[in-house]
Structure 1
Amino acid sequence: MMRRRLFWKLFLAFWLANTLTFLVGAGAFMLNDLRGDTPALRSLLATELQLLQRYGEQAGRQLLEVLPQPPDVQVGLYDSQGRLLAGRAVSVARFEQALSDRDGRPLVLRASVATTIGEPPRPRGMGPLFTGTLMSALFALLCSLYLTRPLAWLREAMGQVAQGRFEVRVKPRLGKRRDEIVELAEDCDRMAGQLKALVQAQQNLLHDISHELRSPLTRMHAAIGLMRQQPDRLDMLERVERESRRMDDLIEQLLTLARAQSRQGDDFASLDVVELLAQIVEDARFEAGMKQCQVCLQAQGTFITHGHEELLYRAFENIIRNAVRYTAAGTEVLVEAALAPGGQWLQVSVSDHGPGVEPARLQRIFEPFDRGTDNDGDGFGLGLAIAQRAVALHGGSITALAAASGGLRVRIELPQANPG
């Protein structure tokens, strides 16, 4: 119904504009005919007046006698007493002008147009008027269809997307058309693709969450069953407590991931990223000392950005702790922070001496629950996913590269806070 209303609005607007334009032009043309004003008559009168004023009566009489007049044109030259001097007798004058020739003699120039000599001009038929109206209607129809048909396709595609069919695309139906509607169709197709990827990611996330929760629950149920059979097995209580803490950690990380994806800036404030890194490195050195490795920070000055302190702390902490976890014993985890050229961005890189990551997996390590070949570890594969979402929330970027030392290098870029 909406498409039809838009179609008829456009159709009537185009048709009315074209019809009015045609009627104005046709009306002016028909009015000239009714007044006896034609191009042939105007040209003959202009020439006659010019000859009379420059060369006198004799030149004007010769023009009317020598120059053949069109059959529907009547031009006559009269003296002051009304006697015909040259040309044709004009019964009903549509044009009459009194003038004096070069010698000062008074003359009268009369003219008219008629289909038959002595008869007044007859108006033209209504055929051209109907033809012009129909042609304007056809033009309005084509213009309206040209504008509303792609909108109908977009509406149909959005209806299918609303029903969960994200594979629908509109741009291929538009052919070689190049205008703003095509750009709108590209945006709609891109939106459908992103919605499909988002829904698929959410489904995968729910599947992974259920899998991660099922494992500790299964172990807890087994421990409870053993306790019922053997009440003196107090070690099962420790097992239940350990699994409950593991589930609590998982839920806390999921909440952090959801908060990083919410894209809300209500809790944003100005903070010093270099000072934040110094706190995290200081805490990470204790964990690194247990495996006889070091964490070194190379940064100078301050860098103020506008962000969420807790999310940024979790992001950098997850990256640095991940590097400490995988770096080889006796090696160093290097955290570097430096201003990019221009001073508007801060580049932070964290490099380790671990086994590294295959080039094909460098992008997948930021996906939730991706732990690579380390499926038996204590982590859930959410640390780097939280870091990526948190950095993206602050308008930055995060990438994983192969470090020169043979391990993994994670590079983060954050923008400076706006002065306003």
Structure 2
Amino acid sequence: MGRLFWKIFAGFWLTLLLTVGVVTAALVIREEARRSEESVLAAGPRSSIALRTAWSVAQYGGESALRALLSSWPEHEGQPPLVVDEQGVELLGRVVPPEALQAARERLAESQGLREGERVGDWRRRNVRVWRDAAGREQLMFFPLSAARAPERTSERAPSLSLASIETPIALALAALLASLGVSALLARHFSRPIRKLQDAFQAASNGQLGVRVAQTMAGRRDEIGELGREFDGMAQQLQQLVGSQNRLLHDVSHELRSPLARLQVAVGLARQNPAQLDTALNRIEREAEKLDALVGEVLSLSRLEAQKLQRADDYVDVVELLASVADDARFESEGSGRHILFTSNVEGERVIRARGELLHRALENVVRNALRHTPPDSTVELNLDHNPAAQTLHITIADAGPGVPENELGSIFDPFFRSEAAGSGGYGLGLSIAQRAIEAHAGRMYARNRSTGGLEVHIELPAPLTPAG
């Protein structure tokens, strides 16, 4: 599971925690409000039973019986309930707290508006009673909070915090809605901003603006979206390089084709003007056509290597045998010119790698032929193979005894159509370019340096996996 999963997971739990927090806050606020309303009245089963007892005595025994009960109220039961008439006068002449009287009247009005089942099921609704004396005057009976016993006051003022005491479904729904809206907005902003940047980048790339990059705007992201942005930058860079190389190749090819085409036109013109020189003109046309054919072939090879990905390497190639074959072919071709080639291998036995044999053979052959072309007569081109166990690479070196290449041109000799004036190279300057692309297609590396004794060394590194044959 990626980092994006953990962000969604964290968002889910944040929503849950916010919901619980909002519901808890609502419960606390509601409970505090209720306590502030009831802080002046005692409420609970004992107060309700005592109040009912006093009411029953007054109802069936009259005022005298009620006075006797209130006067002989047990001390361990706390203060007796207050009995207040409509003018606010207490039956025994006791002081009545105005706030308690007001709360009792409000609670009475509230209780009278409820159904009987609701009134019976809630102790807080039964802490106020009304008794009518013989004259028909209403007497309000209630316990002020200070009159209740301490144990009951604690229990009465701290009822259980039940979700059923408030509108629980509505509170939960509102809390979940608010929390989910907030977290969803944060997540949507967190994900939509980089996606919009990627969308804009893709739109720009489709319009030909291949220089657009998005990695800087996602530098802090380490999730899949950030990886997608970095992958887009890599893709855009590859496309930019590919289009640039194709444009350069088209420019260079058009430049190289002008000379042979011009000579062809001259030869055709001479043949028309002087039919006696037809054979000479035809020979020139044939040579120029062969050059054009060779140039087109090399350009197609280079274009395929630059524009197409390497096909899967299904061949198992013995590099020692491959280099020996290249050396034998080069030795046969160079016998008449007095140039020699020496192949040495520091690898014991065979060394097999997975590669495209034909492509790798052509790349090595191009480098060896280029070395033979620049080495003077009666000199030797050295072809050497080493194995680096630590880096798990094969190192191939092709060294000649020619004039070498100026230091400022060493980085350019692998560019298409580059020809060093100091080396006086012939051809079209595509051989080393094709060879380098082929080596890179095998995940290898190719570079050049001048020898201290004179001449040029071309180094080729081919990576693992390497396994001895047999």
Match of residue 150, structure 1, among 164, 180, 194: 194
SS at match of 2:123: coil
**Superposed CA offset, 1:308-355 (max 9, x none):** 221111111110111111112322111001111248421110011112
* Alignment partner of 1:335 is 2:378: no
Q: 1:84 to 1:367 in 2, by over 3 A?
A: farther
Q: Residue 338 of structure 2 aligns with which residue? A: 292
Q: 1:283 to 1:325 in 2, by over 3 A?
A: same
Q: Residue 280 of structure 1 aligns with which residue? A: 326
Give the C-alpha shift of residue 237 in structure 1: 1.4
**Rounded Cα–Cα distance in structure 1 between residues aligned with 2:179 and 2:79:** 42
Match of residue 412, structure 2, among 364, 371, 376: 364
Q: Residue 236 of structure 1 aligns with which residue? A: 281
Q: 1:408 to 1:375 in 2, by over 3 A?
A: closer
Give the C-alpha shift of residue 272 in structure 1: 1.3
Q: Residue 269 of structure 1 aligns with which residue? A: 315
Amino acid at match of 2:233: D
**Superposed CA offset, 1:144-163 (max 9, x none):** 22321121011101110111
The answer as to whether partners of 2:444 and 2:460 remain within 8 angstroms in 1 is yes
The answer as to whether partners of 2:351 and 2:466 remain within 8 angstroms in 1 is no
**Rounded Cα–Cα distance in structure 1 between residues aligned with 2:290 and 2:75:** 123
Amino acid at match of 1:163: N
Q: Residue 258 of structure 2 aligns with which residue? A: 214
Give the C-alpha shift of residue 396 in structure 1: 1.4
**Rounded Cα–Cα distance in structure 1 between residues aligned with 2:232 and 2:325:** 45
Amino acid at match of 2:432: L
SS at match of 1:335: strand
| Structure 1 segment 29-68 matched on structure 2, within 5 A | none
The answer as to whether partners of 1:269 and 1:306 remain within 8 angstroms in 2 is yes
Give the C-alpha shift of residue 179 in structure 1: 3.3
Compute the TM-score of the two structures, normalised by the length of structure 1. Answer: 0.71
Q: 1:319 to 1:23 in 2, by over 3 A?
A: closer
SS at match of 2:265: helix
**Superposed CA offset, 1:112-152 (max 9, x none):** 2389xxxxx98599999969955763453243223211210
Amino acid at match of 1:179: R
Which protein, 1 or 2, shows the higher relative CO under an 8 Å CA cutoff with sep ≥ 6?
Answer: 2
Q: Residue 379 of structure 1 aligns with which residue? A: 427
Deviates more, 1:19-28 or 1:280-289: 19-28
Q: 1:386 to 1:360 in 2, by over 3 A?
A: same
Give the C-alpha shift of residue 293 in structure 1: 2.4
Match of residue 398, structure 1, among 443, 446, 458: 446
Compute the TM-score of the two structures, normalised by the length of structure 2. Answer: 0.64
> Which segments of 5 or more consecutive residues in structure 1 lack a partner in the other structure?
1-9, 40-68, 95-108, 116-120
**Rounded Cα–Cα distance in structure 2 between residues aligned with 1:72 and 1:150:** 60
| Structure 1 segment 172-251 matched on structure 2, within 5 A | 172-173=216-217, 177-180=220-223, 181-233=225-277, 234-251=279-296
Q: How many residues were matched structurally?
A: 361
Give the C-alpha shift of residue 418 in structure 1: 6.1
Give the C-alpha shift of residue 402 in structure 1: 1.9
Q: Residue 92 of structure 1 aligns with which residue? A: 123
Give the C-alpha shift of residue 242 in structure 1: 0.8
Larger Rg: 2
Q: 1:134 to 1:411 in 2, by over 3 A?
A: same
Give the C-alpha shift of residue 277 in structure 1: 1.2
**Superposed CA offset, 1:2-53 (max 9, x none):** xxxxxxxx99x96x976665444544666688899x99xxxxxxxxxxxxxx
